[in-house]
Amino acid sequence: MIKKINIKILLAIIIVATVGYILISSLIGDDKIGENKFSYLKSFLNNEQKEQIKKIIFPYKVISKQEQRISQLTKIAMQQKQNRKILQPILLNLELNKKKLASDIETEERVISLSNNLTLKKFHLLSGFYYGINIEFPGSGYIDFYDDNIFVLSSRGVLAFRKDLSTDKESFKQIKNNIDEFIGEKQLGKGNWFSIKDLYILNNKVFISYTEEIEEDCWNTSVIFGNINFEKIEFKKLFSPIQCVHSINNIDKEFNAHQSGGKIISLDNDHILLTIGDYRSRHLAQNKKSLNGKIIKINIKNNQYQMISMGHRNPQGLYFDEENKFVLETEHGPLGGDEINLIEISKIEDNKIQNYGWPISSVGKHYVGTKEKYEKYPLHDSHSEYGFIEPLKSFYPSIGISEIVKIDQNKYVVGSMKRKSLYFFELNDQREIIGMEKVEVHERIRDLRFHNNRLYLFMENTASVGIINLS
C-alpha cells in the first residue's frame, strides 16, 4: 500500500515538474515542446524577470550560452588579431610605396552640416594615408601652413602640399623627403604606435617629431628639421634624448608608445617647445634626471634645451598665447582624467620647472589597478594638496583630447579623438574655463590649425582634412 502511494506521489511530482518545465520554458522563451503552445504567457514577464528565472531554474542553460558566447567572441578576437597581423604590413607597404612614387594625392570633397549652424567641408585623401596610429586603417596625419599653402604629413612620412583648400580643387603635391633615414620600415613595422607625432612649420623650416629607436627596442621622442622646399626636403636631426625607455626591460614591465607626446610649438623665432610622454614608465614623470613626462624648450640655433614643466603623462596639444603670456597644454590621462593645463611664461623665463602632478595626482584611474600600483602611483584627485598645479579642467570620463588652438580673444577650441568632437570654450579674467560647448564632427580629430578665420582639422576615421568657416 505504501509503495503504491509513493508511486502515485512520484508520478504526481513528475507530472507537476514536467508541466512546470513547459510553462516556465514558455515564459522565458526556451520552449521547444508543442510548438510553444504557452508562448502567450511570456507577455506576463519582462526581460529582466525572464533572465532571473533562467538563472535560478535553468542555470546550466545560462552557463552553456555564456560559454558559447565567450567561445564566439574569443574566435572573433583571435581572427581580428590574425587579420591585423596580415593587414598591417600590407597597409604599411602601400603607404611607403606611395611615398616612393611621389605621385599626387587626389581628394574627394563632401559638405556636412554640424550643430550651431556650422558647416564642415571635408577633403578625403584618396591615397597615401593608409596606416593609422590608433586605428589601423585609414591613415593618421598632421597639418600646418606655410603662407597660404597647407601641408599634410602622414604618420609614416608621406609629405604633401597644396594651396589653401578653399581656393580650388587641385591635388596635393607630394614632396620627396628622407624621413625614412630616421624612422623607416624597420621601426614602423614594429607596431602602429611607432610613428611620426607632429608637423610644425616655423618661418621657412619644417619640424617633425617622431618615436626614435635610440637603441634596439629602446625608444624616445626626437625632432628633425629641414628647410622649406616644394620639391624635396632633406631633414637633419635637431634633438634626440640620450636616455630611452625599453619596450621590455623596464621597471614596471609596462610599455606604451602611444604615450610619447611629440607636440611642437614655437615660443619665438629661436625656440620651440616639445612634449615628451612617459611611455608608461610613470615614475619618470617626477624624475628631473629624465626628459620623459616633461615639456622642454629647445634652442633651434644651438640645439641646447631646458626643462620647463614636468609631471605629464602624454601631452597631446600645445598653444602659445602670446597675448596672455601663457601656454595651454592638453594631456591624455589614464582611464579618464584628460586635462587642460596652463603653463606660465613668466616662470619659464625664471627657469622654474612647473609640476602638474602625474602620476601622483590625476582624476583618472589605472587601467589595471592593483593595490601595489596605487601605493606607488596613487592618482589623488587633488593636485594642489600635494604641491602640484591644478588643471584648468579635467575630463572624466576622458574625451581622448588632442590639439588646442585659439580662435578669438580668450576663445579656444580643443579636439577629441574618443568623443569625435570639438569643444569650444572661453577663459575669463580669473583664467577659468566658461561656456564649454561640444560640437560633434563624428570622426577622430588628430590635429587642428586655425588659419584665416577657418578651423582646419585632420580627421583619421576617413583620412580627411576638414574646414570649418568661423566667420
Q: Give mean pLDDT, residues 314-328.
A: 97
pLDDT of residue 408: 97
What is the rounded distance in angstroms from the CA atom of residue 96 to the CA atom of residue 101?
9
pLDDT of residue 79: 61
Cis before 397? omega within 30: yes
pLDDT of residue 6: 61
> Is residue 112 within 8 Å of residue 120, measured between CB atoms?
yes
pLDDT of residue 220: 98
Which residue is listed with cell 570639438?
Answer: 422
Residue 245 has pLDDT above 90, yes or no: yes
pLDDT top residue among 109 and 81:
109
> Is residue 405 within 8 Å of residue 412, measured between CB atoms?
yes
pLDDT of residue 135: 82
* Rama region for 226: left / alpha / beta (φ>0; ψ in -120 to 50; rest): beta
Pairing label, strands 454-459, 445-451: antiparallel
> Is residue 110 within 8 Å of residue 120, measured between CB atoms?
no
Q: Give mean pLDDT, residues 118-133.
A: 95
pLDDT digits (tens, 9 = 90+) for 195-213: 999 999 999 999 999 999 9
Residue 55 has pLDDT above 90, yes or no: no
Neighbours of 42 (CB within 10 A): 16
pLDDT of residue 446: 98
Q: What is the mean pLDDT of the chain?
A: 88
pLDDT top residue among 42 and 155:
155
* DSSP H or E stretch at residue 295: strand 294-299
Strand partners, 438: 423
The residue among 199, 262, 203 whose CA lies nearest residue 228 is 203
Angle at 461 between CA 456 and CA 464, to 5 degrees: 35
What is the greatest pairwise CA distance in the chain? Answer: 110
pLDDT of residue 27: 46
The pLDDT-based confidence of 16 (bands split at 50, 70, 90) is low
Which residue is listed with cell 577659468?
Answer: 432
pLDDT digits (tens, 9 = 90+) for 339-350: 999 999 999 999
Neighbours of 87 (CB within 10 A): 15
Angle at 447 between CA 340 and CA 332, to 5 degrees: 35
Q: Give mean pLDDT, residues 10-21.
A: 57
Backbone angles phi, psi at 249, to 5 degrees: -90, 80
- The distance from CA 150 to its chain's CA centroid, rounded to whole angstroms, is 23
Q: Where are the domains of the chain?
A: 2-57, 175-320+344-377
What is the rounded distance in angstroms from the CA atom of residue 93 to the CA atom of residue 84?
14
Pairing label, strands 232-233, 176-177: parallel
Q: Give mean pLDDT, residues 372-381.
A: 96
pLDDT of residue 76: 57
pLDDT of residue 62: 47
What is the rounded distance in angstroms from the CA atom of residue 422 to the CA atom of residue 246?
35
What is the rounded distance in angstroms from the CA atom of residue 221 to the CA atom of residue 117?
40
Residue 45 has pLDDT above 70, yes or no: no
pLDDT digits (tens, 9 = 90+) for 287-307: 999 999 999 999 999 999 999
Instruction: Return the SS3 of 108.
Output: strand
The pLDDT-based confidence of 312 (bands split at 50, 70, 90) is very high
> Is residue 187 within 8 Å of residue 131, measured between CB atoms?
no
pLDDT digits (tens, 9 = 90+) for 64-74: 555 565 556 55
C-alpha grid cell, residue 1? 500500500
Q: Give mean pLDDT, residues 177-199.
A: 96
What is the rounded distance in angstroms from the CA atom of residue 212 to the CA atom of residue 221?
6
